Structure 1
């Protein structure tokens, strides 16, 4: 049967009928990055008319704080004549546009920056190209293609969208969660063969029956790859995302469409699938690559320690008509009941660097 007229759901169902149930990680990978029908290969998912909104779209000040962080790190690195600034999943380019407007105030930085964007969505690439036209950016799909210059990596809400594997505890054993078909409908199930206990890991050893071990192998492997690239070049990786500081049992898979939760199995490719990021696991990958992983902080701590409150006060004073909107944006970025506590910030850096926003 030709694929031209088939939806991604049809293609997934065909694969299940031919090969049997697929792991959740395989299902997520197809839903998000299928070459022609994947969620992140199609339209702009951001903003009020999209499916979700990210911090850079809430306020320009978010990107400005990242810019101040980049400038400080650039100076700590000795203001190299050339360095690569890489953003993973740069959305509309808003974060980088705001960040570089501030970072470029550091003497020499604008001429030194080699801007790389890790992106596959053609709609978003067009927006990024327009917004970042003055920076001679390059778009890459393979991080191994980076040059040998010092490297700063920004990953805002990137790791949450990488596939995870889920294992469910049953009668003292672990069984991998899969996606199969029942009466023609996609359903979750479990592999009939238990998974080796040692491979699940010590953090889940005390889990009770019915609990879920959610393991982001794709994220851990990519983090390791990035940190191994970063090690000999020098620099740092900054990851901001929603998640938890310590590896723990729990199921966090969610599907979002038009800012509302939907069935993750209903319409593959039409909704954003994400899970909470295991920051402890990312940190382990960074340490294994020889980097210093600084204590994880909340987004609220990170942004306010960089001067977010002062910047909002200055903007409100200069633009009184925008004061209410600025106050609302500040609350959304920093309040515990909004993004302030759920979102965490991790930095893996070359030994000796002291990235701003983290405890000394």
Structure 2
């Protein structure tokens, strides 16, 4: 990855904080570094930066086209009907960004007035700045905000949406040393330059029990990633679904089963950057290991559906028909709609790398898109 040259940008304030911490306490894990970069109370990326949109660092599927959020809203409506159309239901979004997805999902929900009347939108958001954007997008929608999944009410079924949420959760990295043992990869300081650098914890560590054992014999130098927070989300949501019923849909970029290789990446102004440069100013993410996520959810008692590619998933939900209908009523935007459709579904764009996975209680109806 190449760090972009940006003139006139001051050094990241978080960099000096990390240097002092490492100098005083020693190297920190990649997971701790990622958590500080994203969530530091004052200088974390999600606390201080404009992340999403043309003026941010990246564009998510809901920002590409209204079709994405609308189809997810109809996906939730379909599952609500399979539950017998309960009078009350929570439509929850994890990591709701600027509120675009929920806004579009609720617009689609109004096509089924009984469904919309049953819904209470719930936004799980810890950033005060982002919550302000969401409140503007969802004015008069009756939404409520919580900072943690644990605060979601438990007295009605749960329909949960999470788009590009898991990829921002911290990952640990392990590297097989020349001694044949696995060591945690950490972030330390280069003695010559005082720059941040990767290094290995000299202590040997046991191999992660949720990673495929075939990776244990990877050659020296191999890196594998593990995300306890991602698995914790799987366990927590599985428990909620068993308790109150419903379904949860996760859409993110990643792989169906774990493999060796580093996926930690930084994006700054739509350009890939060195993840150790400008901490707190660039977005840090890692590919989601859907295999480990699914295994954790199954062990917690959930039924797992997928993963399937985002392109296949959206096509099964009827995105082509939705695009055709929009083009009929917006003929001047036909080209933009065609471009958005390709970006969301084409294998060379988001259609394959991005995947959809759903969780439900055991022996519950299969959600739409996973036939």
| TM, length-normalised to structure 1 | 0.95
Q: Aligned match of 2:165 in 140, 144, 158?
A: 158
Distance 2:325 2:249 in 1: 26
CA contact (8 A) 2:183 2:202 kept: yes
Query: How far off its partner does 1:328 sit?
Result: 0.5
Query: How far off its partner does 1:106 sit?
Result: 2.1
Larger mean CA deviation between 235-244 and 112-121 belongs to 112-121
Q: Which runs of 4+ in 1 moved over 6 A?
A: none
Structure 2: gaps of 5 or more residues = 1-10
Q: Aligned match of 2:188 in 180, 205, 215?
A: 180
Task: Report what 1:55 is aligned to.
Answer: 61
Query: How far off its partner does 1:48 sit?
Result: 1.3
Query: How far off its partner does 1:249 sit?
Result: 1.2
Query: How far off its partner does 1:118 sit?
Result: 0.9
In the TM superposition, 1:1-360 aligns within 5 A as: 7-148=13-154, 149-171=156-178, 172-182=180-190, 183=192, 184-197=194-207, 199=209, 201=211, 202-350=213-361, 351-359=363-371
Larger mean CA deviation between 71-80 and 98-107 belongs to 98-107
Cα deviations across residues 83-112 of structure 1 (Å, max 9, x unaligned)? 111100101111111111112322422221
Give the superposed CA RMSD.
1.5
Query: How far off its partner does 1:205 sit?
Result: 2.1
Distance 1:342 1:203 in 2: 23
Cα deviations across residues 111-137 of structure 1 (Å, max 9, x unaligned)? 211211111222221111011112221
Structure 1: gaps of 5 or more residues = none
Cα deviations across residues 135-193 of structure 1 (Å, max 9, x unaligned)? 22111112212222111111100000000000011232111100001131111100011
Query: How far off its partner does 1:200 sit?
Result: 7.1
How many equivalent residue pairs?
Answer: 355
Query: How far off its partner does 1:327 sit?
Result: 0.5
1:133 aligns to what SS in structure 2? coil
